[in-house]
Amino acid sequence: DADVTQTPRNRITKTGKRIMLECSQTKGHDRMYWYRQDPGLGLRLIYYSFDVKDINKGEISDGYSVSRQAQAKFSLSLESAIPNQTALYFCATSERQGANEKLFFGSGTQLSVL
Amino acid sequence: SQQGEEDPQALSIQEGENATMNCSYKTSINNLQWYRQNSGRGLVHLILIRSNEREKHSGRLRVTLDTSKKSSSLLITASRAADTASYFCATDTGGGNKLTFGTGTQLKVEL
């Protein structure tokens, strides 16, 4: 089984709809992240969480919200989806080894907003 | 704006050749990392080089870091068709800041 699991893998929705993307992990990491990937723009950070009671905005949090339901679960919501939120979304976890931190990614959710 | 910029954006080589990708960044870093992404899949961590290191090896991968030029290179030796993927550099500026990814290099290795 994958260590970082995202559901759904693909989703098509309409403008104005509320949608939730889910992420769960079995790696036992405290830190979890949501990124979006657009062609030619690399990955941009939406939100991150260092533990269950910690939520932080990233570079592009407008239009998104998150919930850290448990150490292993971190969900991303689009309250009212718009077409420019069409992108590939990734959840990631990390372990910090001293001053160094590396990420472990899920397989992604391709979201299309029509 | 992106902290890391990869160069070239796309690279096509023959199997067996070496592939070199470059990453430039703007601010001081704690470490720099390289990730690989197969088409439409999640990124996979390849190698991490600390700011006080100049070169690091892992199998067929060789990474160099020049902090004076704020640049890094990833060399894949004896490339294989299975190396076809996008490669991203990511910089960790420390101080609680998060990893910032570049825009990636698309590598195609042809038989």
State both tokens at A112: 């299309």
Question: Model confidence over A97-111: pLDDT tens digits?
Answer: 667 788 999 999 999
B37-72 pLDDT tens trace: 998 789 999 999 999 999 999 999 999 999 999 999
Provide the pLDDT confidence category of residue A1 given band limits of 50, 70 and 90.
low
Cα B109–Cα B90–Cα B5 angle in degrees, nearest 5: 70
β pairing state of A109-113 and A10-13: parallel
What are the tens digits of pLDDT across the range B75-89? Answer: 999 999 999 999 999
Q: How far apart are CA B50 and CA B53, in angstroms?
A: 5
- Mapping DSSP to helix (H, G, I), strand (E, B) and coil, where does residue B64 land? strand
> For position A113, what pLDDT does the model report?
97
Given CB atoms, is B41 within the 8 Å cutoff of chain A? yes
Could you tell me which chain A residue has the CA closest to the CA of B42?
A107
Contact B93, B28 (CB under 8 A): yes
Instruction: Give B61→chain A minimum CA distance, Å.
Output: 17
SS3 for B8-43, per residue?
Answer: CCEEEEECCCCEEEEEEECCCCCEEEEEEECCCCCE
pLDDT at B96: 67
- What's the mean per-residue pLDDT of chain B? 92
Which residues, listed in sequence order, are joined to residue B72 by a DSSP beta bridge?
Answer: B23, B65
Q: B1 pLDDT exceeds 50?
A: no
Which residues in chain A touch residue B104, judged by CB atoms under 8 angstroms apart?
A: 42
pLDDT at A49 over 60: yes
Please list, in sequence order, all residues whose beta carbon lies within 8 angstroms of the beta carbon of residue A43, skipping any fewer than 6 positions away.
A35, A36, A37, A90, B43, B88, B101
Distance between A12 CA and the closest CA of chain B, angstroms? 16
Touching check for A107 and chain B: CB below 8 Å? yes
Q: Does B44 touch chain A (CB under 8 A)?
A: yes
Q: Cβ contacts (< 8 Å) between B3 and chain A: which residues?
A: none
**Is the Cβ of A63 closer than 8 Å to some Cβ of chain B?**
no
For B38, name the nearest residue in chain A, comparing CA atoms only.
A107
Which residues of A are less than 8 Å from B50 in CB distance? 100
B46 touches chain A (CB under 8 A): no
Interface of A with B in 2-21 (CB under 8 A): 4
